Chain A
């Protein structure tokens, strides 16, 4: 009760005047899911904890933040749902992970500690990095785990990571890439497991602080949001400056001396963490179009209106998610772009999965790349 009251204050849920715009906007509700963000806001205001945790509807939200943008009363529904999940988790509810909880287990093992991960076996000598200390820290995220785990989708998350390092090298930066990095804990947090999230966060904040880095460059949209927003209360002293890889690149475009890379038409999927959560829309577009010859073809819903990949937190893969993905891929194809570029490994995983549908393949298949990959293709060799 007390907690719901606090949540209502924090997220401004109290200001809700029941207009229903959030539910009308919500991609899940629109597609027919029996889910209504408005009901959760209402239940919070009425302090109905059971209504909130009931049959796991609190896990149906994609946390895409689209409703936040539309709410006339400025209710922070995404923040609300994060809190509600924490409360539900404490009561013993967990989302049903479509991957059997494998990734959550990996995160919890990292949180527990004691492991010496072997996570850098892809790091070849042509990529110049520092093992521990340096001015710039490059955050690799869980890309190597995704490639190992999602092998059937030919997930190539690491390609984006390698490309980012190559680009930084070109700018004369050999970033710290640490073997002791742990998962940022994004998914645990959004699954409601704050305890393990904080264990991870503390270790990671310490790791970067000890590296002496003043600049933290991150490729994954989710890691970036987690570092910038959710780690904020955990910093001791001055945090490093945190930027997305494309923000970093945009600061140094001329020095990259980009050449045409043979690509002509690209479209950009705004990851919800990068776009609506952090307001970073232009840098990836600027970086992309800095490659001579590349023209950006926007999808009908882009920027703040972009549709989510429907799979943010390893907790909501279902037929509704599939429908959203297929719809989004049709939009991408309709632009006539030859490549769908994004800045979040999960967008790639989820869209690549949707493209496997043998009956739809012909209509929705499109090449997918991380933005750093496409830009790095423009480096002269």
Chain B
């Protein structure tokens, strides 16, 4: 049975977004599609915002909640999880597992009071360089609007 919320969501006063602030984003990408998609974007010289670090994994199915949560713990402002389109996963159904793991992650992230918009799941094929750039731009803008994560400055990932 799903609980019916009767209490309002607690409000966190949104931090002032500093001028010229750029978010610190972690992107998890699978080796066979989304990482190659990023490569395609690079080879085709498609411009996109550069405020992310990419972590390559063999398959999006590997990206368990611990990965995303650790990124937030270390101060990431947003985390993008990406893999192959359904039916294209190199390991057949890894991305279906990724969806389950992502759902779980989302539930924990919202319990912690972090905005849901700080995480995103996207499928990007090796050929979709332009789409990779578009997703990165959209997500970067989305996280920029939210401002720094309340946990920012917690980790080693600062420039």
Which A residues lie within 8 Å of B108 (CB)?
102, 106, 145, 148-149
Q: Give chain B interface residues in 90-118, CB to chain A under 8 Å.
A: 100, 104, 107-108, 110-114
Report the stretch among A48-56, A113-121, A337-345 that lies at the interface: A113-121
Bin chain B's interface residue count. 20 to 34
Inter-chain contact B9/A118, CB cutoff 8 Å: yes
- Residue of A with least CB distance to B63: A100
Inter-chain contact B64/A100, CB cutoff 8 Å: yes
Which B residues lie within 8 Å of A116 (CB)?
10-12, 113, 150
- CA of A353 to CA of B149 in the docked complex: distance in angstroms? 34
Q: How many A residues have CB within 8 A of the partner chain? A: 30
Q: Give chain A interface residues in 275-332, CB to chain B under 8 Å.
A: none
Which B residues lie within 8 Å of A106 (CB)?
69, 108, 112
Inter-chain contact B66/A102, CB cutoff 8 Å: yes
**Does A359 sit within 8 A of B, measured CB to CB?**
no
Inter-chain contact A151/B104, CB cutoff 8 Å: yes
From DSSP, what is the main secondary structure of chain A's interface residues?
Answer: loop
Evaluate whether A102 and B65 lie within 8 angstroms (CB atoms) in the complex, with A109-B112, A145-B111, A179-B10 already known. Answer: yes
Q: Could you mark each residue 57-80 of chain B with 1 if its beta carbon is under 8 Å from any beta carbon of chain A, else 0?
A: 000000011110110110000000
Evaluate whether A102 and B113 lie within 8 angstroms (CB atoms) in the complex, with A109-B73, A123-B6 already known. Answer: no
Partner of A109, one of B10, B69, B100: B69
**Does B5 sit within 8 A of A, measured CB to CB?**
yes
Inter-chain contact A119/B111, CB cutoff 8 Å: yes
Inter-chain contact A114/B150, CB cutoff 8 Å: yes
Q: Could you mark each residue 83-121 of chain A with 1 if its beta carbon is under 8 Å from any beta carbon of chain B, else 0?
A: 000000000000001011110011011101011111111
Contacts A101-B66, A121-B5 supplied; 11 other A-B pairs, CB < 8 Å: A97-B66, A100-B66, A102-B69, A105-B72, A114-B151, A115-B112, A115-B114, A121-B7, A144-B111, A148-B108, A149-B108
Q: Residues on B close to A: CB < 8 A?
A: 3-7, 9-12, 64-67, 69-70, 72-73, 100, 104, 107-108, 110-114, 150-151, 154
10 pairs, CB–CB < 8 Å, chain A vs chain B: A100-B66, A101-B69, A115-B112, A115-B150, A118-B113, A121-B5, A145-B108, A145-B111, A148-B107, A151-B107
Q: Residues on A close to B: CB < 8 A?
A: 97, 99-102, 105-106, 108-110, 112, 114-125, 144-145, 148-149, 151-152, 179
Give the 7 A-B residue pairs with the shortest CB-CB distance, closest first.
Answer: A100-B66, A114-B150, A102-B66, A148-B107, A105-B69, A116-B12, A122-B3
